[in-house]
Amino acid sequence: MEVQWIPGEQVFANAYVSGSVLVDAGALPMAVEPYRDRIEIILLTHCHFDHIAHAAEIAHMCHAEIVIHRNDAPGLTDERRNLSLLFGARLPAIVPDRVVADGDRIGDLEVLHTPGHTPGSICLYDRDHAVLFSGDTVFAGGGFGRFDFPYGSMQALRTSLERLAALRVEQLYPGHGEPVTADAGRHIEAARRFMGRTYG
């Protein structure tokens, strides 16, 4: 499975191109432009501003659909949910073209509902290649997303980490930081154990 990593700049999230899918849209449109003819779907892992900031512009440039989990769709128009004011920004309302739920498929990617960071956080899993796009649910090095923002949940995040730790994951593509391209499951297991030790 070929994945193109578009590193996040400053506070903005990583974006990834996999086939015809762009995972997250915090990257500047000019960084995404080389892939414009490939991208048909913009799949948002959750509704926070650093992941959705340029979704509307990129969708227009690529003639692509915007897709998000049903529980985070309200965050595309709600500044409290998407945290845009924390970034000193005002985000034009975004209307998704489609909402997804746990178990849905977008091409080769299975939608895994992994709430905790937000109610509608998702990871995207390619079972055949053991590839996981994890948004802000889990990071390399045993880190995980914050749950103290509005609508976050420590218990939900704990359950999500337990679910992910049970998967076979060789490659991890997180919302922030560098990807892991081998034996990535140990990073997820480290996050699960850290959550358990630190928060019971």
Domain boundaries, the chain: 4-199
Q: How far apart are CA 177 and CA 102, in angstroms?
A: 25
Q: Which fold has domain 4-199?
A: Metallo-beta-lactamase; Chain A (3.60.15)
So what's the pLDDT on residue 16? 98
Which ranges of the chain does DSSP label H, i.e. alpha helix? 29-32, 49-52, 55-62, 79-82, 154-165, 185-199
In 78-149 the beta strands, taken as DSSP E runs, fall at 98-100, 105-106, 109-113, 122-126, 131-135
So what's the pLDDT on residue 62? 98
So what's the pLDDT on residue 90? 83
Q: Tens-digit pLDDT profile for the chain (200 aa)?
A: 799 999 998 889 999 999 999 999 999 999 999 999 999 999 999 999 999 999 999 999 999 999 999 999 999 999 999 999 888 888 878 999 999 999 999 999 999 999 999 999 999 999 999 999 999 999 999 999 999 999 999 999 999 999 999 999 999 999 999 999 999 999 999 999 999 998 86
Which residues sit opposite 111 in a β-bridge? 124
So what's the pLDDT on residue 86? 86
Residue with tokens 């926070």, as numbered in its chain: 48
pTM: 0.97
Q: Are strands 41-43 and 65-69 parallel, antiparallel or unpaired?
A: parallel
Question: Which of 84, 77, 191 lies closest to 134 in space, CA to CA?
Answer: 191
Could you say which DSSP state residue 108 is in? T
So what's the pLDDT on residue 163? 98
So what's the pLDDT on residue 156? 98
> Do 3 and 173 form a contact (C-beta atoms < 8 A)?
yes
Question: Which of 180, 152, 142, 11 lies closest to 81 in space, CA to CA?
Answer: 152
Question: Which of 194, 105, 128, 122 lies closest to 164 in space, CA to CA?
Answer: 122
